[in-house]
Structure 1
Amino acid sequence: MSSEIAAEDGLRKPLLHTGSWYRMAGMGSRQSSIMGSSIQIIRESISIFLCVSIVALGPIQFGFTCGYSNPTQADVIKDLGLTISEFSIFGSLANVGAMVGAIASGQIAEYIGRKGSLMVASIPNIIGWLAISFAKDSSFLFMGRLLAGFGVGIISYTVPVYIAEIAPQNMRGSLGAVNQLSITIGIMLAYLMGLFLPWRMLAIFGTLPCLVLMPGLFFIPESPRWLAKMGMNEDFETSLQVLRGFETDISTEVNEIKRSVASSSKRTAIKFSEFKRKRYWYPLTVGIGLLMLQQLSGINGVLFYSSSIFLSAGISSGKAATFGIGTIQVIVTGIATTLVDNAGRRILLLVSSSLMTASSLLVAVAFFLKDVLPESSHSVLEILALAGLVILVVGFSVGLGAIPWVMMSEILPVSIKSLAGSVATLANWLSATVVTLTANMLLTWSSGGTFTIYALVSAFTVAFIAMWVPETKGKTLEEIQWSFR
């Protein structure tokens, strides 16, 4: 038994690396307490922002993977002699890999920690992109896409959880929203670099986020809540002290986390019948519901096939308009990150889903009218469709893009977080796959009808948020968990 524990520690310890320089910095800070509380706040912010900036490379990789297939389709098909259906398989294999990664993500993140999980995710990502860049036929292309998707599936669960677990309660929403901001930056980078780089070079460029992430992980502390759960009390307190500033009194937060961990570890196994209790089924319903509705609103259908949607609306410069949409998404998501902790999660979700309902209806009306009105009025309808698509992306970026991931990491109970988080992430990727596989067929059937369906889903999302989703702004993770009891 002791040899098993030693073997586990042997695997975990190199990945923890809370680092001796933190302790040295701590000694120095205690000797210079004369510098006052303002310096302490700056030190705390730098520590938190450094951690978030490094792990944000993961979602940049996530976004780059999603965006890669948009600018490369014609060149890959030409160079490797693929059919349209083979390239569609290539595009969707990232989702398949991500679903497998999502299933494994919770257990990996529990066993070797949040940092270890990101390290594991980086390796198949890098191998996958190299396989794509050197592909001579579809087999290497498909294998590379699956491997990159697997890494993305792990990243999509681990990064929001890590950020939620290290952030102070008054900054958790804004810092959590950085996850979605980074995804949009990754998508925009793929669109932008795709205008200048051939597809093989673009794939090599895709290895960079994880190549920087891997060494960066050694310079940030592990999640204090995970360390506490693993019984690594010295590392837990060191990690928390680093994150909060060496002059900060962390005793209250230490006791809260210890109490939460103690209550969750009394029962190591949860029976299926216990999911009838509100403390389990309610947060699980909210978490899975938000992550599914985020995708079923049709956003991936719009982002993946934006160029063809623009062309069918009569807008000739589809690629330029797509890059414009990507840029708008980054800007609005950046603004939204500053609002999450001030306005609150719930109000932003309601505004977001309401805007998406109205804009989807606007696009649907523009397409329906295009079929019945004379050609002289088409220029007005093109502007209407473009405005609708821009509002749709703005609406998504305001809330529904970032906040479901933030809330998933906040509301799931510690005792079922690994299993429930994996299920919620899997549900998100399944929904994304359904939308990306059906969007092209639906748009071929009826563009107006497609956006009517998306509008109905968005309207249901408004009702779901109004009736089910609680406000978590300003509460500690432990307080949120207690509120479901």
Structure 2
Amino acid sequence: MFYKALAIAGLNAVSLSNGFLFGHVAGLIGSLQKKEEGIDLSEGQISLIASTLTMTALIGIGLAAYVTDKIGRRWSVIIFSTPIIIQWIILYVSYNMFLFMLSRVIAGIAAGGLIALTIFVPAEYTSPKTRAFYLNMVTTVAPAIGTSLGHSIGIVLQWRTVALIGIIPAILAVVIPFFWVESPHWLASKGRFEECEIAFRQLHGNKLNSERELQMIVKMEKTKLKLANETNCKPTLKRLFAAFKRKYFWRLILMSIFMHAYLTAAGKLVFSTLATVILEEITGTSDVLMYTLLVDGFIIVGSCMSCYLIRKTSMRTLLFSVGFFANAVLVVLSACLYFKNGQNYFNWINVVLLALYFISINAGPYPLLEAIFSEMFPLELKVYTFSLSGIILVSSLASTIMLLPLMVSSMGYHGLFLLNAAIMSISLGYIWFRLPETKGRTLQEIEMYFKTNNFDVEEMLSTEQSKALM
């Protein structure tokens, strides 16, 4: 259990560091737009600085797939966390476009790799009963706290000082994983079954349910390796190309596209990156510290609520009830922005609605979709299929940040929010028909369901249908 606590602590440090990284951008962009310290950059250059962090994350996601498949989860986290420290130092001494872009490129590549790792690695270090809870902590609560700190400290302190503060969680993200054990799931996928058993028992003990899950992992991965040898499909690329021929693979990719469409339209990354800029435009004032603290505070509240709610209800119930409620709030916010009268009380109504919206999506859809995303792909191909799907997500997020000024100028925030609500509703509708209830299921049971429409691993492995694992 001690090793599980270390793994969760390290992943939370990574997520907090990443959240701080994205939250810091809002203060940086605001300072550059005001041409503080005599730094004179055009709007196009500032927009490029803001969006590069997200665009270069594509490279990091691709690299993470290769690196983590070859050397495992533990060292991958260390390798991708180290450049975060370097980019903070570069940013601190930046006075021209070259240095700003250099820090953003390094940060984007490293953050992209870490985003991928923090989504699928927690599932491999936790048990089925607590997986959703810890995934919420890592993918929602910790980054929300980091983003809030980046926003609020970025308003109070000069952005160079904030850059120095950002080094602290980045150092923790490098140091803590040195004391981890390797992921037993990764070890099993590589045929290192003795090491897998040792690592698994260090993480989960030797209770009856844990031993059952361990035997399921070993049996399933041995079956897959045996089938790979029989079909001359052992190298990862051959197994990936074999998956391309299967219907289940493309059904998962299609569902992930709708999940990405929801996450993009929901605006989490846009707000975390450009919070102060958006709030200034919505409220019409540059004094947005209290507004920012309110919205960020409610994002953290929503994130913490998700950890409680997921232990009390099913994932499907929470996802769809809270998800459609958030859409309704966004429609109301759109109407209020359209009919706003410029009075201070109306600004507070709009900000409170925005805060309520972020409570809702952080209490349900955000953490649950990220949890489902970490569960749905086959273990041996998870990092590669995640990269393929992640390219779609990051491309859409980067495009949203780059096109945000154009979209706002053409349709206003009221039109943008209404469009987003429509996209989110369509996405939830598709996911409703495709997503099973995964709470309490092992990763092997979930993988088996998406491949065969049956959760019973023992039954499927003992029949001819075990060939479906390929």
Distance in structure 2 (CA, Å) of the matches to 1:352 and 1:388: 15
291-300 vs 213-222, which moves further: 291-300
Distance in structure 2 (CA, Å) of the matches to 1:197 and 1:439: 26
Give the alignment of 1:294-443 within 5 angstroms. 294-314=263-283, 316=285, 317-370=287-340, 375=341, 378=343, 381-443=346-408
- Residue 36 of structure 2 corresponds to residue 78 of structure 1: yes
Q: Secondary structure at the match of 1:336?
A: helix
- Residue 171 of structure 2 corresponds to residue 201 of structure 1: no
One-letter amino acid of the counterpart of residue 319, structure 1: L
Residues 102 and 426 in structure 1, CA contact (< 8 A), matched pair in contact too: yes
- Residue 435 of structure 2 corresponds to residue 469 of structure 1: yes
Residues 59 and 109 in structure 2, CA contact (< 8 A), matched pair in contact too: yes
Aligned to 1:232: 192
Distance in structure 2 (CA, Å) of the matches to 1:429 and 1:319: 29
Residues 125 and 150 in structure 1, CA contact (< 8 A), matched pair in contact too: no
Aligned to 1:172: 131
Aligned to 1:280: 249
Rate the CA distance shift 1:251–1:366 in 2: closer, same or farther, 3 A: closer
Question: How far 1:252 sits from its partner (Å)?
Answer: 2.3
Residues 366 and 382 in structure 1, CA contact (< 8 A), matched pair in contact too: no
Distance in structure 2 (CA, Å) of the matches to 1:116 and 1:146: 21
242-251 vs 209-218, which moves further: 242-251
Question: How far 1:308 sits from its partner (Å)?
Answer: 4.0
Rate the CA distance shift 1:204–1:480 in 2: closer, same or farther, 3 A: same
One-letter amino acid of the counterpart of residue 97, structure 1: T
Distance in structure 2 (CA, Å) of the matches to 1:249 and 1:383: 51
65-74 vs 449-458, which moves further: 65-74
Q: Secondary structure at the match of 1:118?
A: helix
One-letter amino acid of the counterpart of residue 339, structure 2: L
62-71 vs 437-446, which moves further: 437-446
Question: How far 1:335 sits from its partner (Å)?
Answer: 1.6
One-letter amino acid of the counterpart of residue 407, structure 1: I
Question: How far 1:480 sits from its partner (Å)?
Answer: 0.7
Question: How far 1:90 sits from its partner (Å)?
Answer: 1.0
177-186 vs 291-300, which moves further: 291-300
123-132 vs 265-274, which moves further: 265-274
One-letter amino acid of the counterpart of residue 373, structure 2: M
Q: Secondary structure at the match of 1:89?
A: helix
Distance in structure 1 (CA, Å) of the matches to 2:176 and 2:345: 50
Rate the CA distance shift 1:339–1:264 in 2: closer, same or farther, 3 A: farther
Q: Secondary structure at the match of 2:95?
A: coil
Aligned to 1:95: 54
Superposed CA offset, 1:131-172 (max 9, x none) = 111113110111111101111111111122221011111001
Rate the CA distance shift 1:119–1:271 in 2: closer, same or farther, 3 A: closer
Say which of 420, 433, 440 aligns to 1:454.
420
Aligned to 2:173: 213
One-letter amino acid of the counterpart of residue 36, structure 2: K
Say which of 204, 211, 223 aligns to 2:183.
223
Rate the CA distance shift 1:271–1:164 in 2: closer, same or farther, 3 A: closer
Say which of 64, 70, 74 aligns to 1:111.
70
Which stretches in structure 1 are left out of the alignment for 5+ residues?
A: 1-43
Question: How far 1:288 sits from its partner (Å)?
Answer: 3.7
One-letter amino acid of the counterpart of residue 420, structure 2: Y
Aligned to 2:466: none
Question: How far 1:348 sits from its partner (Å)?
Answer: 2.1
Residues 19 and 146 in structure 2, CA contact (< 8 A), matched pair in contact too: yes
Residues 78 and 178 in structure 2, CA contact (< 8 A), matched pair in contact too: no
Q: Secondary structure at the match of 1:473?
A: coil
Distance in structure 2 (CA, Å) of the matches to 1:202 and 1:221: 33
Aligned to 2:239: 270
Aligned to 1:191: 151
Question: How far 1:187 sits from its partner (Å)?
Answer: 0.2
Aligned to 2:80: 121
Distance in structure 1 (CA, Å) of the matches to 2:433 and 2:49: 39
One-letter amino acid of the counterpart of residue 440, structure 1: P
Distance in structure 2 (CA, Å) of the matches to 1:349 and 1:249: 27
Superposed CA offset, 1:166-217 (max 9, x none) = 1111001111111221111110111122234321121122222221122211
Question: How far 1:338 sits from its partner (Å)?
Answer: 2.5
Say which of 19, 27, 37 aligns to 1:63.
19
Which stretches in structure 2 are left out of the alignment for 5+ residues?
A: 229-233, 453-470
Q: Secondary structure at the match of 1:412?
A: coil
Q: Secondary structure at the match of 2:239?
A: coil
Distance in structure 2 (CA, Å) of the matches to 1:271 and 1:48: 30
Question: How far 1:240 sits from its partner (Å)?
Answer: 0.8
Distance in structure 1 (CA, Å) of the matches to 2:254 and 2:282: 38
Superposed CA offset, 1:454-478 (max 9, x none) = 1111221231222222211111111
Aligned to 1:33: none
RMSD (Å), alpha carbons: 2.2
Distance in structure 1 (CA, Å) of the matches to 2:165 and 2:272: 21
Q: Equivalent pairs: percent with the same residue?
A: 20
